[in-house]
């Protein structure tokens, strides 16, 4: 535990009286715009000026590229960049120097700027977050499981992505809510129900020792095997594959069960309630392990009713049309798509029907301008249709519908298939990750001095951190290959590497003791290149949060934190902290180390990942 008191003897005179030290880019943009007007009579707005981070191979912090203005400046790239650089150096006290490489103006900020930055942020655990409210309300829907099977690896990516996106949006100043639409009705549910009713012999989670979602999933697989056998028999008896798939006794029985459920037949509804109850209990256990939660649950067994009512209203208004068999459709050919079924001829609903109802309920409950659906990319067409239908119905929430389409998770051996029982079960994977973390950590000798309870907590922290980081570091739009062995590695772009870095930092800080910093003497304190690189990356944390929020990509946070951890380890290797003899230099480094620890913990918090204090 240590106490840091800091009083700077330097006061910056800024061109902006309310200039925030974390927004130097805005100052640079503004002054570049003024320079262009003053030097070349070029009129550009601040937001038309692009200030980039200087490339690692060049000296500097920020770069302005002049090629786009050469026609107006009527000078060479080097002359243009030189003139702008001289103007900026004269008008911005925070600039120490600049250099020109062809048309690239590289700007280096002064040590005074960085000391001012560190003194304002080193002990701010909320650094990087936007506390000015945007006024925007956003609803993030994620998870959306089916109650006919347990959660699997694909669901894990969905849950982690949805949770993290919600946290990142909150950090950007938005008012964010989360919800979970449970797919608790439909033909897939009836398949599990039918198999259990025919072959279950009274099995329950209690008398089998199985988690409820695992037990129900077992009968979904049993149904599929029986269904395939029936299809094969019918094909051997002369039917086509398409005919056999429709006439197989099991699928006909499941369809009849769905009709009885929608007719509220008592026995069917009771079985449905019982089996769904088992699944909900199982899901709750898995959600707790994953560390995710929701502000509200919606159930398709309720929302499909409202959806059917809205379809009837649309039919009356002429938005939809009815075919001879009684089915209801919408024609989207003018929108570049095709005709879409909304109600079957027997009156039963389809997925899009209940999604229309859910969208209406969500808007009524939360009144959000944006409604983000975290759903795999195999549903891209579905959500295009949903938004178009809502637009044709003139729903006020239609334009705010956004499908966060993410790629599937694949395994080295191929694609997962629920019906064939070849999925990677979420619970089994979580247990495997924790066990692997325990084996790896013990083998590396990182468990000395920890009690058994501390060890178990550490193994869970590392195992879940490895899993979450590996699944989140890939851009959501890309499909990914999951390799558990690669994810638990204390070297490279992994969760455990960054967690170990945090533990190393906390070890340093525990050995600092109680220190009072009266003031820094800048004349006796230097910023070395390793320190400067770490400072600069720390400074970019708000920018990383903003970018991740704009792109809805936790991967931005992952890769930023990895770069920060790498920079810290380089700094740690090159720069002594506790043994530094220059008191000013030592105190400055302690502040820098403290800020780095805060950012790692904060950024991993946005990903739903814990960081250990010891390791």
**Concatenated DSSP letters of 422-451:** -S-BHHHHHHHHHHHHHHHHHHTT--TT--
d(CA 51, CA 54): 9
Alpha helices in 237-324, H assignment, sequence order: 241-247, 249-262, 266-290, 300-316
Q: What's this model's pTM, rounded to 2 decimal places?
A: 0.90
Alpha helices in 97-204, H assignment, sequence order: 111-121, 153-171, 187-199
Residue 32 in contact with residue 68, Cβ under 8 Å? no
d(CA 457, CA 455): 5
**Domains of the chain and any CATH numbers:** 21-109 (3.30.1360.70), 142-410 (3.40.50.620), 428-606 (1.10.730.10)
Q: Is the dihedral of CA 597, 602, 608, 613 positive or negative?
A: positive
Which three-class secondary structure state does DSSP give residue 108?
strand
d(CA 546, CA 572): 28
418 alpha-carbon distance from chain centroid: 24
Which three-class secondary structure state does DSSP give residue 176?
strand
Mean per-residue pLDDT pooled into runs of 10, the chain (615 residues): 35 35 82 96 95 92 96 96 96 95 95 89 90 91 94 93 98 97 92 96 95 95 95 95 95 94 93 97 96 96 92 96 95 96 88 94 96 96 97 97 92 52 80 90 76 90 94 91 78 92 94 69 81 95 96 97 97 93 89 96 98 89
Residue 561 in contact with residue 601, Cβ under 8 Å? no
């Amino acid at each position: 535990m240590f106490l840091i008191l800091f009083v700077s003897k330097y006061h910056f005179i800024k061109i902006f009286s309310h200039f925030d030290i974390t927004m130097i880019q805005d100052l640079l943009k503004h002054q570049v715009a003024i320079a262009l007007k003053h030097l070349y009579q070029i009129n550009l707005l601040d937001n038309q000026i692009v200030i980039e981070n200087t490339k690692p191979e060049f000296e500097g912090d920020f770069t302005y590229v002049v090629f786009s203005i050469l026609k107006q400046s009527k000078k060479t790239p080097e002359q243009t960049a030189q003139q702008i650089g001289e103007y900026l150096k004269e008008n911005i006290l925070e600039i120490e120097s600049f250099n020109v490489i062809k048309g690239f103006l590289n700007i280096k900020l002064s040590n005074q700027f960085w000391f001012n930055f560190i003194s304002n942020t080193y002990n701010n655990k909320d650094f990087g977050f936007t506390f000015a409210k945007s006024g925007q309300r956003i609803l993030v829907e994620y998870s959306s499981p089916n109650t006919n099977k347990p959660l699997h690896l694909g669901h894990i990516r969905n849950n982690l992505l949805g949770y993290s996106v919600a946290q990142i949006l909150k950090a950007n100043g938005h008012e964010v809510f989360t919800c979970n639409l449970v797919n608790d009705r439909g033909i897939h549910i009836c398949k599990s129900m039918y198999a259990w009713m025919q072959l279950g012999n009274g099995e329950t989670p209690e008398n089998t020792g199985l988690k409820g979602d695992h037990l129900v999933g077992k009968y979904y697989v049993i149904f599929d095997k029986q269904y395939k056998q029936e299809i094969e028999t019918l094909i051997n008896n002369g039917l086509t594959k398409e005919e056999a798939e429709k006439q197989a006794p099991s699928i006909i029985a499941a369809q009849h069960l769905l009709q009885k459920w929608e007719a509220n037949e008592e026995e069917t509804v009771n079985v449905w309630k019982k089996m769904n109850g088992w699944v909900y209990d199982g899901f709750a256990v898995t959600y707790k392990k994953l560390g995710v939660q929701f502000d509200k649950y919606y159930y398709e067994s309720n929302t499909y009713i409202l959806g059917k009512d809205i379809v009837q209203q649309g039919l009356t208004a002429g938005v939809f049309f009815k075919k001879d068999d009684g089915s209801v459709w919408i024609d989207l050919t003018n929108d570049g798509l095709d005709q879409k079924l909304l109600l079957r001829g027997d009156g039963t609903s389809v997925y899009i029907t209940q999604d229309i109802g859910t969208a209406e309920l969500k808007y009524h409950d939360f009144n959000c301008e944006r409604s983000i659906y975290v759903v795999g990319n195999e549903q891209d067409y579905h959500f295009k249709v949903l938004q178009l239908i809502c637009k044709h119905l003139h729903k006020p929430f239609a334009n705010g519908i956004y499908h966060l389409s993410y790629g599937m998770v694949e395994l080295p051996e191929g694609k997962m298939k629920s019906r064939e029982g070849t999925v990677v079960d979420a619970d089994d994977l979580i247990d495997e990750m924790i066990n692997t973390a325990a084996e790896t950590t013990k083998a590396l000798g990182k468990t000395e001095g920890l009690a058994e309870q501390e060890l178990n907590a550490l193994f869970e922290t590392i195992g879940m951190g490895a899993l979450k980081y590996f699944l989140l570091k890939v851009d959501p739009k890309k499909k990914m290959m999951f390799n558990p062995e690669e994810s638990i590695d204390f070297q490279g772009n992994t969760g455990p590497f960054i967690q170990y870095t945090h533990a190393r930092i906390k070890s340093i800080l525990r050995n600092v003791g109680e220190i009072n910093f009266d003031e820094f003497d800048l004349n006796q304190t230097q910023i070395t290149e390793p320190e400067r690189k770490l400072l600069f990356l720390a400074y970019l944390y708000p920018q990383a949060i903003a970018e991740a929020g704009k792109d809805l990509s936790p991967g931005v946070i992952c890769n930023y934190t990895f770069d920060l951890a790498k920079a810290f380890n380089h700094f740690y290797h090159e720069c002594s902290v506790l043994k530094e003899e220059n008191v000013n230099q030592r105190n400055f480094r302690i502040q820098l180390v403290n800020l780095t620890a805060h950012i790692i913990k904060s950024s991993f918090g946005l990903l739903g990942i814990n960081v250990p204090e010891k390791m």
